[in-house]
A and B are shown apart, each in its own frame.
Chain A
Amino acid sequence: MDTLALLTELRARQVELRLDGDKLVVQAPKGAVDAPLAEAIRAQKPALMALLREAQGQRAQQEPIPRLGRDRARLALPQERLWLAQRLDPASAVYNLPGAWRLRGDPAGQGVDPEVMRRTLAWFVERHDLLRSVFREEGGEARVIFEPGRELVFAAVDVSGEADPERALHAFLDQEAARPFDLENEPAARFWLITVGPADHVVYVVTHAVIWDGWSFDLFLNDLSAGYQYFAAATPDGAGPPVAPVPLRFGDYAEWQRARAETPAIKAQLDAWRQILRAPLPRLELPTDRPAAGLAGHRGARAYLRFPETVVSPLAALARAESTTLYVVLLTAWETLLYRYSGETDLIVTTPVRGRERPELEHGVGIYTNTLFFRTDLAAVATFREAIRRTKGSVLRAFENQDAPVDALLGELASSQDLGRSALFQAMFSYQNTNNRVTHVGPCSLAFVPQAIHAVYADVNFWVKDAHGKLLGAVDYRTELFDHGTVERLIGHLEAVLVEAGRDPDRSLESLPIRLPADETVLVGLEGAAARRADDSLSHAAEYGFAHPDALALTGDGFSLTFRELEAAIAARAGRYLDAGVLPRRPVAVQVARTPDALVDVFAALRLGATAVLGPSGGAGQYAAPQLPTDAALIDLSAGSSLSPEPVTVTPAALRFATHAVSERLGLGPRDVLLSGSRGVGLLVECMAALGRGATVVLPNAAVLSDSWELRDLVESRPITAVVGEYGLLRALADEGLLPARAVVRDGPFEGAIWLDGPRATAGVLAEHVGAGLWRPLRGAKIEIVDGRGERVPVGVRGAVRVTVPGEKPCVTEVRSRWRAEHLERLADAPGVVRNLGVAVHLEEVARVLRQQAGVRDAHVDVLPSGPPPERAAMGRDDAQSAPTERRLEVTAWLVADDTAPGAAALRDALLRLLPAEAVPAVFVRVAELRRAGGEVDRRSLPNPLEREGGGALPATDAEQALAEVWSGLLGRGGLRTCDNFFELGGTSLLALRAVVEVERRLGARSDPRLYFYQSLGELAKALA
């Protein structure tokens, strides 16, 4: 590998090189330098030494960091961010950093001496100024204030007497880790020595990220070990423990860092970062178990991983072949997995770097880490190998600019929509060295105590450390987003990527097989015997009719048929068909209508096995049409729209399945009354589903269906227990408070999940909503989630739904979904696409068409919320996590137009000629300008035409309540709100004068009665207060 790559790798592994005369000294954490690396160093030794000499020369020219010795200093840039975060949420402990180590001595002999420990810790606290500092705001700026009078915060705790000392220990550790710091009034470091048993102790420190970074823990252990040894000696010799001095106060570094940020070299690096992190920043869609909501939390957990040598060595070889390091190859694999999960090719992975290059900074506690970002573009990458090369570039770019305090930029980069959850901190990667060289403190052995909860600062953080050819590590993850099982599966997928890439790095990223055996079992919908059962609803209806001849089958405006009557009519019609020569598998034309006659026609045809052709013009008899498929049960020529111009064809299998599906979904039984609001094939399916279970079907005619008041009258006179229909029908019922609990919208997939899709009507898929936006497929259908190549995707990853109904070919739908355990999760559509009544509306497309209209200079199109969908409204639920429903949306357009632009009606007409009706905006709002930031319109700057005036709050203050009391008495009405106006409520000028006097008696202050005309209760109250 070349020198630069080698240096990168060395830096990544925290290996330090020094010149000692003409010898090259390598200082590295244990295990960091493996054989290949050592070989590389040897090979490059001359080049390395030359570089070092140069650097040394440069360093000699470098100014030392000025020692200011101030008690008050500004914060370092990363400190400011953390301090602000803590101030915003003072009760939060997410930035607490706990560290616990077990100190075990010889059980019969000595353990830790608490007094020596105390003195050691006191000395430690004295050494590092941040441990005696507080943070305050002074004059609008944050300051770190060193208070030399502060003392060590230390307590000795004894849990050995508890029933379960181990449990008590961990409870104590967790409890203290969760206790927040008051940074204004206390230093952010607390220490304990916990006695667990004889010669069995735990030394515990809890600090805060604002003063402590990962490497500070190493320093702590170093100091602990050296210090304990010194203070344990009977007579300390006065020289102090043999550790390197800490020459600087942290504030000196902070000032120096800030000053350096102004130098041209650093400014150039910051500009480079601005370029690297330019908008738009990509958002990764990870297979989370819960949606991200609100501010990102920091509670996390850890899932360990272990990759054996068989996995690692091919990758190491690959790295060598590509003149790069294992670090880069691992990063590439991580990026590949993220890409496969999310489909995003523009990837940002963040990594922390140590930041302590200067010798003065090596021994002090503080936060020096810098955060770097690798931004890699994997678009059109043909192979894994090529991906490695791209990643190499991102890594180099990042390390070239590693001196710049990137924290300073993070405020600039946060987008307005992204207040609590940054796209920059979703995925993290690091090559870690918990290079703890300390093994003993005094006579005791030292061992890390793992704790259950970790603080994490990214959604997923993949870190590894080298362990003699193996890789050990973990994926730390946000527990608010992921379950442990999901992350374990993620690790499995990651391993699959590593194995496959190592085996054949010239495969494309998409073709790397990452699915695990565990992913297979849940991908197919439960298949049951029910699918294969011949479910002929009409036969069942006939059977029911024998048993209950007088039960009501069909009813509507002016007609009522019992089951017996219905059966008789079907038999009679079938007889007439036979007489007319209608044969099985031959077409029969029938009319589409919501009348018993039309239904009987179809049922008779089906009974005979003929193909019922539903056409707009009717007439029983033979129908000669050469192109019609002969294996269909139904062909609906009247259906067909701009979306699917072909007629809908339904095979017997699909018809049986769909009918069964509807009955199951609605749970229909003999006592049910179903209101059927559909047309065409849907109407038939619903009727058959109901009749087949002995339920009654209510068939309102078209006039009633289109008038919600008529509908109300109908339903009030004949209560229904279930309804299937289009959104408008359900909405109308919900408005009148008459929507039954079992209601299914026939508008799109998963909405209650009945749909007949595409020209061949092959998919009668059924799923049951189990809550929280999850659906469980019911019997019979095979459902898969596939990627763009038709391959099944792993559990949790998004893809398109592919449906297979028994006897039919698989059909890929436009619905996007993913598996969560054995449920399907309905997903929101792609950004910029909404579904209005099942029709996909591409908002930018509509805007583009608008911009083409005369006089329109700019346009932005979006949808405004239009209230909860009917089912939820009816059931009084507002389940925020329910699946987004197919409903009619308020498509709204904001226009910048001059006077020559046509008015709203004309614009609507023009657009109707170019776009589907569902995409045409209902509302046009004229604005002076459309403010854009980063290519996106700032939604908050757009006026909302739907905001209602009034509303107002209930009277709360004394003045408001006094006014409300007086007005209520004079006007004889209650329920007053702060937005109400006296005259609008029915008051007169005389009453106003009386009100003024009455209010004065209560409050001692007098309003100008003229104001009663113009102002609201709230405003008058404000003036009186």
Chain B
Amino acid sequence: MTPFYFGPEERRLFGVLHRVPGSGRGVVLVPPFGQEALRSHRTLRILAESWARAGWNALRFDPYGTGDSAGDDLDVTLAGMASDARLAAAELAAATQARQLAVFGMRLGGLVALSAADAFKAVVLWEPLVDDDVRALGNAGYEHEGFRIAPELRRELRDYRLPTAGLPKRGLLVWNAAARGDRVTQALGGAVERLETRVVPAPPAWNEENDFGAGPIPAAVIDALASWRG
């Protein structure tokens, strides 16, 4: 496990690389937004480690303006996060033998993953934000759960449309409950040729558990994700 900074001087990003020597598979993990990212930090670490144990090189990173990366909350935009994910892909390929790259995103990170998916051969989503939630976030006001939302991000959220083209051939979509993302599943199913959908009930890692500030670990989802064969 190697924590490090990467990216150009004007956009320094923090990431943690879990290497698997000799493996050609890699995955970039995109975190959710704001407070959800803090709550799910543990989950993402364990997910990356599980993927590594399953033979995937894994790079989890903080988009610009979040976590330990440079910048602050007003610098966060969907387009920026997608560009950071692409940078992470390049970094992952340079530092390992991984050429079969997948991008993983949960919640808002799922939408980022979809935006950056052209740089990857597969897209993996867990509970991506669906329309109502996206719009709600866009209308949340100046501050949402401790973090400010820049006007640009607000605009992106309000205008958000699910991509229907330029997506990789393969994908995995994991939901907590069957009915949750029907529309999204259908839409993506058109754009991603081989989309696998699974329903895995699990506690929401992005919500707080018992005032700890941290979220629960969705063990079943982690198992499902790490055992995906690509």
Contact = CB atoms under 8 A, between A and B. Distances in A.
In their complex, do chains A and B touch, with some C-beta pair under 8 Å? yes
Interface of A: 706-710, 728, 731-732, 735-736, 864-867, 888, 890, 903-905, 908, 922-923, 945-946, 948-950, 971, 973, 983-989
A732 B24 contact: yes
Contacts of A709: 100, 121-122, 169-170, 230
B217 interface: yes
A988 B53 CA distance: 24
Interface in B92-141: 94-97, 99-100, 121-122
B220 A986 contact: yes
A864 B19 CA distance: 12
B121 A984 contact: no
A949 B210 CA distance: 28
Given A732-B24, A735-B23, A888-B22, 6 more contacts: A735-B55, A903-B6, A904-B95, A922-B96, A948-B18, A949-B1
Interface in B186-222: 203, 209-210, 212, 216-220
B21 A865 contact: yes
Contact of A866 (B22, B100, B212): B22
Given A708-B24, A728-B24, A731-B22, A950 B49 contact: yes
Nearest to B96: A922
Contact of A945 (B19, B217, B218, B230): B19
A984 B23 contact: no
B52 interface: yes
Contacts of A905: 6, 91, 94
B143 to A, nearest CB: 29
Contact of A950 (B2, B53, B96): B53
Contacts of A973: 219
A329 to B, nearest CB: 54
Contacts of B46: 984
Contacts of B2: 945
B60 interface: no
A257 to B, nearest CB: 52
B25 interface: yes
Contacts of A707: 100, 121
B21 A890 contact: yes
Contacts of A731: 22, 24
5 shortest A-B CB distances, which residue pairs? A986-B219, A866-B22, A867-B22, A866-B21, A890-B21
B148 interface: no
A888 B122 contact: no
Contacts of B95: 904, 922-923
A986 B221 CA distance: 10
Contacts of A988: 209-210, 216
Contacts of A888: 22, 97
27 contacts: A708-B99, A708-B100, A709-B100, A709-B121, A709-B122, A709-B169, A709-B230, A728-B99, A732-B24, A732-B100, A735-B55, A736-B229, A864-B21, A888-B22, A890-B22, A903-B6, A905-B6, A922-B96, A945-B2, A950-B49, A950-B53, A983-B217, A984-B217, A985-B217, A986-B203, A986-B217, A986-B219
Contacts of A922: 94-97
B42 interface: yes
A971 B230 CA distance: 28
A314 B230 CA distance: 76
Contacts of A946: 19, 21
A730 to B, nearest CB: 11
B25 A735 contact: yes
Contacts of A985: 217, 219
Contacts of B219: 971, 973, 984-986
Given A728-B24, A732-B24, A905-B94, A989 B210 contact: yes
A358 B155 CA distance: 101
Interface in B1-25: 1-2, 4-6, 18-19, 21-25
A941 to B, nearest CB: 19
Contacts of B212: 989
A104 B160 CA distance: 108
Contacts of B52: 948
Contact of A735 (B24, B122, B220): B24
A729 to B, nearest CB: 10
Nearest to A909: B94
A706 B121 CA distance: 11
Nearest to B216: A988
Contacts of A735: 23-25, 55
B24 A908 contact: no
A612 B42 CA distance: 61
B45 to A, nearest CB: 9
A707 B24 CA distance: 10
Contacts of B5: 903
Interface in B64-109: 91, 94-97, 99-100
A585 B20 CA distance: 52
Contacts of A908: 94
Contacts of B53: 948, 950
Contacts of A865: 21
A300 B24 CA distance: 48
B41 to A, nearest CB: 12
Given A707-B121, A866-B21, A988-B216, A949 B49 contact: yes
A973 B50 CA distance: 15
B84 to A, nearest CB: 15
Contacts of A706: 99
Which of B22, B42, B97 has the most chain A CB atoms closer than 10 A to its own CB? B22
A908 B230 CA distance: 29
Given A866-B21, A922-B96, A946-B19, A986 B230 contact: no
A971 B222 CA distance: 14
A409 B170 CA distance: 66
A985 B222 CA distance: 9
A905 B17 CA distance: 14
A946 B17 CA distance: 10
A708, A888, A946, A984: most-surrounded residue (chain B CB, <10 A): A984
B218 A986 contact: yes
A727 to B, nearest CB: 10
A874 B206 CA distance: 40
A976 B190 CA distance: 40
A986 B209 CA distance: 12
Interface string B25-41: 10000000000000000
B28 to A, nearest CB: 16
A84 B42 CA distance: 51
A911 to B, nearest CB: 12
A891 to B, nearest CB: 11
Contacts of A971: 219
A864 B42 CA distance: 29
Nearest to A708: B100
B51 to A, nearest CB: 12
Contacts of B23: 735
Contacts of B217: 983-987
Contacts of B49: 949-950
Contacts of A989: 209-210, 212
A866 B96 CA distance: 11
Contacts of B91: 905
Nearest to A890: B21
A946 B22 CA distance: 11
B223 to A, nearest CB: 8
Contacts of A903: 5-6
A983 B55 CA distance: 23
B100 A984 contact: no
B14 to A, nearest CB: 13
A748 B103 CA distance: 35
Contacts of A983: 42, 217
Contacts of A950: 49, 53
Contacts of B96: 922
A905 B91 CA distance: 8
A988 to B, nearest CB: 6
Given A735-B55, A949-B1, A989-B210, A867 B25 contact: no
